[in-house]
Structure 1
Amino acid sequence: MLPESHASPDRKRRPFLLLVLVLVALLGVGGYVAFQLGGDDRAPVANEPAPETDQPSTEAYQPWFAGYTDLTATPVFTFETPDSESGRDVVLSFIVAATTDACTPTWGTYYTLDEAVEGLDLDRRLARAEQLGGQVIVSFGGLLNDELSTGCTDPARLVAAYDEVIDRYGVSTIDLDIEGGNLRDTVAGERRAAAMATLQENRTAAGTDLAVWLTLPVSPAGMTEDGATAVSQMLEAGVDLAGVNLMTMDYGASRADGDSMAEASIAALQSSHRQLGMLYRLAGIELTAATLWTKIGATPMIGQNDVAGEIFSLADAAQFNAFAQENRIGRMSVWSLNRDQTCGSDYVDLTRVSNSCSGVDQGDQRFSDVLAQGFDSRPTSAAPIKTTEEAGQIGDLTDDPATSPYPIWTEGSTYLADTQVVWHRNVYQAKWWTLGDLPDAPVLNEWETPWTLIGPVD
């Protein structure tokens, strides 16, 4: 996301070569964006497993809402004294590398942590927020500057830099907003993942928690290849990801003609849910569809988006929130609390993004109030949740020819377009002629498979 001190707040995107090579080996065989165990009426998503009837336990489902605010934005946003309960918990943005020393954490390159005491009055404001019952999360990265791992190549100094921020502000949840050049730099991604693994290991040994969220670009087709690589790097390093927060915004040409921003955002979550399950499977971790939903977060850009003509309305917010509640995603955020108000009469060009208003007529409503509905837990309640293997809960996927409505897929058979088969208790339909392509092959993008998931075998 762009810092709000700039006119255009938020975008996101993209290597994935390693993962592709893994897929090839296994099978023998993605705009610029800043951010179900569903009912039977949802549209099928290609290669998504049949939904289980399970729901995550109360302990494993602690949905929370916290809006982003840029500490370096002008005018200054008083996050410490929110006007409504939905503004109580905040994601403070962005910690980035200093321009003079890549291993020194700063707020937007403008203030070191010590300089922020006076320059941003930050320590007093944080104390006031805590006094009023608020909780804070710190976000590292954003679009415009270097995230710490991008430039700090010394592993020990890198861990120390993250530690300094986490300890200084006493947070148990951090947000890694990785986009642009930071996301394309896969070597930096490996350093970042290793640092996160070390931080979690050290805190576990000390009896404390550290929840790590990855905030990534998304389109209606799902995460970009670079985003999927970032997830894979974290899992391979042994990081217990709290979840992946998707920046449901700035879709550009990836949004289908006629689709509302809510519809495009719902499609983005559905596609990413399938991708996330695939990435966990490749990492050797089987999770139920319900648990995967708890590991998804969403951050719409309210009102006018950076892309001209993209407007996320209050009606979109209500529809998107209903979907998020129904599918029990783990986190909802918003870009940004600074913008959650109608523009004044002196702001005449509503097609240009403002850093202090939404660009739409909100009346007396707040986007944050609408999007926060149902997200009643708090970040500190969710932080202790650990990821556990769930292969035993997924059940027997053996297909029974006697009860299957279509032939069971076999590797040596050829299938013409529109042919339907059964595989692992799901019905699939061929999009084109195919031979030897697994219906549930772990592919990142739906266009990579010749099969469309129709739904589970009744």
Structure 2
Amino acid sequence: MGGCSTRSSRRLRSLSLLGAAGLALTGCGAQQEPWFGGYVNTTSYPYFDFGTEAAGQSRTVLGFVVADPEDPCTPSWGGYYGLDEAQETLRMEQQIAGLREAGGDVVVSFGGAAGDELATACTDPDRLLAAYRTVLDRYDLRTVDFDIELDDLEDREANQRRAEVLVRLQEERDEPLEVWATLPVAPHGLDQDPVEVVAQLLAAEVDLAGVNLMTMNYSESKPAGQTMAAASEEAARSAHGQLTALWGAAGQDLSAEEVWHRIGLTPMIGVNDVPGEVLEPDAAAELGEFAREQGVGRLSHWSLNRDRPCTAEDGDPAEANDFCNGLEVEAGEFTRVLHQGFEG
């Protein structure tokens, strides 16, 4: 077995104290129980009452914190609301408190397809550190998600800056900070830019909890006739091999089981953004069973807002939107199907 990084080794002493909280130590860090947590598009209107609708999930992933368009080193929700404005308009703190009172927790996702991730816009590492810290402290976060897409994927300087600041964040905390990188994938696996993002995080010695694969919107990378479930399973297996090699190159020779535990899967439920790509509940159930069999560490979906059938006011159900999934299914059907067998 390869050794842990110096930073990870130092962290083991504090992690060992958490055994009574249900964490099992494995590899170079603490292995959480596999968890399910759907994403919420917090700024889509009409606003989604996630404090009530997501009660009962072990975790709920709130997206997205991005750079304020007028101040690149200031965090905002979607580029629309500062943290104080989000409290006033979205009742952010009350909703988070509601989930925690119901026994769950929240994960904040930075980045996404719209807006600039803070590390892309904020080039001052100290101010970037302060921006991330502000969000972590405000919402008392133990897990964060970095959804790196589109132009953010190609920005090597920003990706390096993010990695170095995340190490500083992890080192300054008294308790572990679980960091996930959410990246696009194809049936053939991760393309070069996502591979480079992971490599930079590991080279900087970020204690990376895992890589969450966006198993959706495959376009021409999916062979004609291949189902969405089959394409997603192939993507996961392909990425598993790549991630095994990446962790190995970083000095962590993980078992196949350990690598699966550091993989997450996030499908887009119902009608996807790519015409003709639709994830039906049966396919979601197949993907969920695959995730359980492989022992993936995380299962999510995009999104809780969309986990309902469309109405006439939502527009053409054949076109993806933020408010419904385009299928004639019961509200909450995808969450029920994917949640089975996961913590919470």
Question: TM-score normalised to the size of structure 2?
Answer: 0.89
Q: Which residue of 1 aligns with 2:200?
A: 233
In structure 2, the residue corresponding to 1:214 is in which secondary structure? strand
| In 2: Cα distance, 1:306 partner to 1:253 partner | 13
Q: Which residue of 1 aligns with 2:247?
A: 280
- Residues 185, 191 of structure 2: 8 Å contact kept: yes
Residue 171 (1) aligns with residue 141 (2): yes
| In 1: Cα distance, 2:314 partner to 2:161 partner | 43
Residue 362 (1) aligns with residue 329 (2): yes
1:212 to 165, 169, 179: 179
In structure 1, the residue corresponding to 2:185 is in which secondary structure? strand
- Residue-by-residue CA offset, 1:261-319 (whole Å, 9 max, x unaligned): 00000000000000001111111221111100000001000000000000001011111
- Relative distance call for 1:286 and 1:83 in structure 2 (3 A) is closer
- Residues 37, 59 of structure 2: 8 Å contact kept: yes
- Residues 144, 179 of structure 2: 8 Å contact kept: yes
1:104 to 52, 61, 74: 74
The structure showing larger relative contact order (alpha-carbon pairs under 8 Å, at least 6 residues apart) is 1
| In 2: Cα distance, 1:311 partner to 1:125 partner | 31
- Residues 35, 342 of structure 2: 8 Å contact kept: yes
Residue 248 (1) aligns with residue 215 (2): yes
- Relative distance call for 1:226 and 1:130 in structure 2 (3 A) is same
Deviation of residue 344 (structure 1)? 1.9
In structure 1, the residue corresponding to 2:64 is in which secondary structure? strand
Residue 188 (1) aligns with residue 158 (2): yes
- Relative distance call for 1:94 and 1:83 in structure 2 (3 A) is closer
- Residues 56, 104 of structure 2: 8 Å contact kept: no
Q: Which residue of 2 aligns with 1:352?
A: 319
Residue 299 (1) aligns with residue 269 (2): no
Deviation of residue 130 (structure 1)? 2.0
Unaligned runs of 5+ in 2: 1-25
Number of residue pairs the alignment of both structures matches: 317
In structure 1, the residue corresponding to 2:147 is in which secondary structure? strand
- 1:373-388 to 2 correspondence within 5 Å? 373-376=340-343
- Relative distance call for 1:271 and 1:134 in structure 2 (3 A) is same
- Relative distance call for 1:98 and 1:364 in structure 2 (3 A) is closer
Question: TM-score normalised to the size of structure 1?
Answer: 0.67
Letter in 2 for 1:182: D
Letter in 2 for 1:107: W
Q: Percent identity?
A: 47
Give the helix-richer structure, 1 or 2. Answer: 2
Of stretches 223-232 and 77-86 in structure 1, the one that deviates more from structure 2 is 77-86
Letter in 1 for 2:156: T
Deviation of residue 116 (structure 1)? 1.3
2:106 to 127, 133, 136: 136
- 1:20-31 to 2 correspondence within 5 Å? none
Q: Which residue of 1 aligns with 2:281?
A: 314
| In 2: Cα distance, 1:197 partner to 1:83 partner | 31
Q: Which residue of 2 aligns with 1:258?
A: 225
- Relative distance call for 1:117 and 1:212 in structure 2 (3 A) is same
| In 2: Cα distance, 1:79 partner to 1:364 partner | 14
In structure 1, the residue corresponding to 2:31 is in which secondary structure? coil
Residue 326 (1) aligns with residue 326 (2): no
- Relative distance call for 1:338 and 1:183 in structure 2 (3 A) is same
| In 1: Cα distance, 2:82 partner to 2:41 partner | 15
Deviation of residue 104 (structure 1)? 0.3
| In 2: Cα distance, 1:160 partner to 1:297 partner | 28
| In 2: Cα distance, 1:180 partner to 1:107 partner | 19
- 1:387-426 to 2 correspondence within 5 Å? none
Deviation of residue 246 (structure 1)? 0.3
- Relative distance call for 1:290 and 1:77 in structure 2 (3 A) is same
- Residues 55, 99 of structure 2: 8 Å contact kept: no
Deviation of residue 139 (structure 1)? 0.4
Deviation of residue 126 (structure 1)? 1.9
Deviation of residue 134 (structure 1)? 2.5
Deviation of residue 138 (structure 1)? 0.3
Residue 93 (1) aligns with residue 60 (2): no
Deviation of residue 83 (structure 1)? 6.5
Residue 81 (1) aligns with residue 52 (2): yes
